[in-house]
Structure 1
Amino acid sequence: MVALVLFGVAATAACTALLAGWLAPWQAALAAAAMVGAAMGIAVWRTFVPLRALFRALAGTVAGYRDGDFSFGITWDRYGDLVELVDAHNELGQALRDQRLSLVQRELLLDTMVQNTPVAMLLLDPSRRVVLGNIAARRMLGDGRRLEGHALDELLDAAPAAVGEAFARGGDGMFTVGDEDHEDIYHLARRMFRLNGRRHELVLLRQMTAELRRQEVQTWKKVIRVISHELNNSLAPIASLAHSGAELLRRGQYEKLPIALATIEERARHLEGFLRDYARFAKLPSPRTEPMRLPQFVEKLRTQMDFAIDGTVPDEVARFDPAQLEQALLNLIKNAHESGTAPGTVSLAVRRIADGWRIDVLDRGSGMNESVLENALLPFYSTKRSGTGLGLALAREIAEAHGGRIALLNRDGGGLCVSVVLPRQTDNG
């Protein structure tokens, strides 16, 4: 532009000198200025019109980038400095296109993994409506239909009662769906996080039936080894002491016989008690149900073990086997006291539900990690050094013998909730 201005001044002076021979000085200057000005205007117009077009193109591509459209490109070969700007702009567009393609591929991969995982996954917005539900979730809660946009409560109303109860208790846990012949065991996990500044909840429902069946086989093998070890530990000294007793009799050393016989008796009684505990679990008799008033039953429990009552026990009559249910609940309350909970925080709640009764044993201990939660209902599984692993398994057997079920859930704020659900029974059943 400086060169163009200097050229215009020089051209105007030259034209003025040339025209001064024919015109008056002021007329020559005016004519020269008009001619040179017109020429310079044409030159400026031819220079700035393409520049304006370039600037409009740059503004348009920037607006496209803002809207997520990275398909634009610009070609420019007029001025060196602007060529560098256009090339840098095109390189930015290519980088954005590559990043967009990479994100699309990663989103596609993630969606494929989410949709094809056997774990049912639900993403819920703050209003508890489904934002995303994978194929497994559709099969479990929607009969194969899409779940997006549906309210969670609406889906749970149409689901089995055990699913709704597991969600109602909150936290992670395990629950059983179906009857004894067609039983499916699920692990429920719930996690809260923020997405786009709003709280969302991710729900995972993992079917554990096949895995637990495999675990049960391994557990039974372990049980056989334990029983075999215990039998050998008792029978070997009994056989040795019996042989020693026979030798004492042969030699006439009768004064040592009482010691040998007492040891034999002690080992035999230990073995008897060991086998009786296991046989009690293996040979659980069918429940003999009878009508029981719930407040009286709970008060009888409190005479045997200390716990608080959460809420009010309904003053109604239910049918169950009082001896078996008492044994199951005492085992659960004992486990709650041994969970590391503070004194006085073990409580029992009895609530009426649509199809029966729910009895919750609550504590404020350390709860269960995912591994323990998945195996806690297996027979003979225990995290205690001296535990038999029969307490929870026996409670589960008793609940299922009554036609009910048992569920374990970690409580919000710490602790465990063990729920025993019993169906409503008529006077004849």
Structure 2
Amino acid sequence: MLRRLNTLETRLALLLFLAYVSGALIFIGVTQWPLPMILQWIRQDLGVTLETPAHMSVWTGLLVSAGIALLLSIFLADRVMSPLNRLLRALEGAVTSYRDGDFSFSIAATRTDELGKLIRMHNALGQTLREQRQHLAQRELLLDTVVQNTPVALVLTDASGRVTYANIAARHLFNEGRTLHGLDFNELIETSPEALRRAVKSGEDALLTVEMDGSEETFHLSQRSFRLQGRPHRLQLFRRMTRELSRQEVATWKRVIRVISHELNNSLAPISSLAHSGAELARRGDTARLPGVFATISERAKHLHGFIAGYASFAKLPAPQPVEIRWQPFLESLALHCRFILTGSLPEQNGWFDAGQIEQVLINLVKNAHESGSAEDGVSISLAVIGRDVRIEVADRGPGMSETVLAQALLPFYSTKRSGTGLGLALAREITEAHGGRITLANREDGGLRVSLLLPLKQA
């Protein structure tokens, strides 16, 4: 009940009631008592002549009462609005402080009404903003520390090409450790190697090798445009890849050596054993078994020759010779080498690629699809024109691939087959990229694997 009485609504109602009672009392005082009695006493007892009527009319009383009530209303309004005015000025100061980024402003008040509640909410808001700003400052400091100390050179430029932010690696890469802020980045890289300048001006991601300090350095350049505080900016990341590529190269060579050693041992060990057995049979004059020994040696030698030839073909892949390809004859020729179902209609626009190389890729992909355990009628090929490219898709209904296998399936020498060399998909990727296209692998939602070749079409 006390809380209900201590509200602005209740106070306003009491003030209005007080104003009503005060107006009535003033009117009675002016027209009935005590003002008429005082005037009569002045005339009769003091003998003072006053030019006022003995009793005021209703309208005169109302006019006099209104004047007195106006003065009283001004006084009461000042008393009522004084705390509101102080609060509004305080809130105005708080808003100004917040606009200037100062959240330390708070309002001291001990009121228990709605204004007090508003003040407490304002102070709580200020405290929240202060804490959030402190946390944001800490996160910005952490982010700046990480960015400044990362080995990736980071350069942020504005719309005019001037550097607005650069980390330590960028300063050492482009300006001998000195600051880059405010410098024109295009002028700054004029002294850089030609390959680096071309890559930056192309505006696209690139992997490039340049000569620096008497040695070759490989960089991966990543470029992105975005708007910061409503203004266009460009972010360029220069990542040194030399050590990483060297480690990958060493790891690849080790993997190659392991695969070749494994295959050589698998073939040479039985050849050596069979050669010894053949010599022993010949010494004993047991020539009946020699043809079988020689046939086995020939088979192992043929396998070894095919294995080495596969590696040689991957290492010496000729440059593609694209020509215009009509789809119907191409698919009919492909069907002579492998079994598949054509789904969908053929594109009206002819293809543009090296028929022999792409045919070999599709033969390998269809063969893999059949070896996955897919049903005969589950291996399909579909074609579709996507923008300026044609998509050739080989799909099956096998078990698909795990995420780990999908991530490494296109790498050379990676294979999940016990007798696989790991060159099939790697060769497909090499041929596709040599055509200016790309290859992707993905599991199908209803089971199976989908391998997509995206090849560029001939431009008119």
If the TM-score is normalised by the length of the shorter chain, which range does it land in?
A: 0.5 to 0.7
Give the whole-Å Cα distance in 2 for the aligned partners of 1:390 and 1:182: 31
Aligned match of 2:247: 214
Superposition CA RMSD, Å: 5.1
Give the AA of the match of 1:219.
T
Aligned match of 1:20: 36
Aligned match of 1:144: 177
Aligned match of 2:261: 228
Contact 2:413 2:422 in 1 (8 A): no
Residues 96 and 280 of structure 1, relative CA distance in 2, 3 Å threshold: closer
Residues 125 and 254 of structure 1, relative CA distance in 2, 3 Å threshold: same
Residues 181 and 266 of structure 1, relative CA distance in 2, 3 Å threshold: farther
Give the whole-Å Cα distance in 2 for the aligned partners of 1:156 and 1:110: 27
Aligned match of 2:343: none
Give the whole-Å Cα distance in 2 for the aligned partners of 1:132 and 1:19: 83
Contact 1:8 1:36 in 2 (8 A): yes
* SS of the residue 2:198 aligns to: helix
Residues 41 and 168 of structure 1, relative CA distance in 2, 3 Å threshold: closer
Contact 1:174 1:409 in 2 (8 A): no
Give the whole-Å Cα distance in 2 for the aligned partners of 1:264 and 1:8: 127
Give the whole-Å Cα distance in 1 for the aligned partners of 2:391 and 2:235: 25
Give the whole-Å Cα distance in 1 for the aligned partners of 2:184 and 2:204: 19
* SS of the residue 2:34 aligns to: helix
Aligned residues: 334
Contact 1:121 1:204 in 2 (8 A): yes
Answer yes or no: is 1:98 the counterpart of 2:131: yes
Contact 1:172 1:409 in 2 (8 A): no
Contact 2:223 2:236 in 1 (8 A): yes
Aligned match of 1:325: none
Seq. identity, % = 46
Contact 2:314 2:423 in 1 (8 A): no
Gaps of 5+ in 2: 1-14, 40-53, 324-355, 366-382, 384-388, 393-403, 416-420, 431-435, 439-452
Query: 1:312-338, CA deviations, whole angstroms, 9 ceiling, x for partnerless residues?
Result: xxxxxxxxxxxxxxxxxxxxx979x96
Q: TM-score, normalised by structure 2?
A: 0.56
Answer yes or no: is 1:306 the counterpart of 2:339: no
Give the whole-Å Cα distance in 1 for the aligned partners of 2:437 and 2:200: 10
* SS of the residue 1:177 aligns to: strand
Query: 1:54-93, CA deviations, whole angstroms, 9 ceiling, x for partnerless residues?
Result: 2222233224334433222223346723222222222222
Give the whole-Å Cα distance in 2 for the aligned partners of 1:415 and 1:218: 29
Q: Which residues of 2 match residues 102-113 of structure 1 at below 5 A?
A: 102-113=135-146
Contact 2:413 2:423 in 1 (8 A): no
Residues 173 and 259 of structure 1, relative CA distance in 2, 3 Å threshold: farther
Give the whole-Å Cα distance in 2 for the aligned partners of 1:105 and 1:180: 38
Query: 1:20-49, CA deviations, whole angstroms, 9 ceiling, x for partnerless residues?
Result: 113233399577765665455334334334
Q: Which stretch has the larger CA shift, 266-275 or 192-201?
A: 266-275
* SS of the residue 2:208 aligns to: strand
Q: TM-score, normalised by structure 1?
A: 0.59
Residues 169 and 37 of structure 1, relative CA distance in 2, 3 Å threshold: closer
Give the whole-Å Cα distance in 2 for the aligned partners of 1:98 and 1:91: 11
Cα drift, residue 14 of structure 1:
5.0
* SS of the residue 1:72 aligns to: coil
- The structure with higher relative contact order (CA 8 Å, sep 6+) is 1
